Amino acid sequence: MQMKERIEIKIDEQRLYYFIDNICQTSYLVSTAKNGAGELSGSEKTPRGKHYIRAKIGAGLPVNAVLKGRRFTGQIYRGYSVGADPAPDWILTRILWLCGREVNKNRLGNVDSMRRYIYIHGTPDCEPMGTPRSHGCIRMRNQNIIELFERVRVGCPVDIIE
């Protein structure tokens, strides 16, 4: 019998919960969008509602591997000069690419989470967790995204709750 896994992301708590058979296995502090919750393309907001993990990207890459366009650039993040304008929104280590499951809410048209490239991904460890700071994605500590990445399967349901 296959275990039922799911992820809940609570924007108001800035926390991600991982469940198996409705029992919380672990939770992590995260960072969602600094612009709040919303679904429109270009809004830089975190989309709400029912999603699933469409793809897992970065298996086996080193911690702090820099990803751009969902590909490893060959670079390892080692910090950047303070005051870089604008400071890049680093996508590091692993990506869990989300796809919406609710037509006209987070799937298709100008609200499509996958076309918006909404991910759960690693970020520099100097970035604060528990504070909304992203451009729409869900940021995690690198060690936490590696742990979650190893546990979840493609197709895992992800509910994002405001």
- Average pLDDT over every residue of 79-93: 70
Query: Under a CB-based contact definition with an 8 Å cutoff, are residues 147 and 44 in contact?
Result: no
- Enclosing domain of residue 155: 5-161
Tens digits of residue pLDDT in 145-157: 999 999 999 999 9
- Which pTM value belongs to this model? 0.94
Confidence of residue 86 (pLDDT cuts 50, 70, 90): low
Count CB neighbours of 60 within 10 A.
7
User: Domain containing 39 — which CATH number?
Assistant: 2.40.440.10
* Count of domains forming the chain: 1
Mean pLDDT of the chain: 94
Indicate the DSSP class of residue 104: T
* 38-42, 88-92, 118-122, 133-137: least confidently modelled range: 88-92
The phi-psi region of residue 148 (left if phi > 0; otherwise alpha if psi is between -120 and 50; otherwise beta) is: alpha
Confidence of residue 2 (pLDDT cuts 50, 70, 90): confident
What end-to-end distance do the CA atoms of the chain give, in Å? Answer: 33
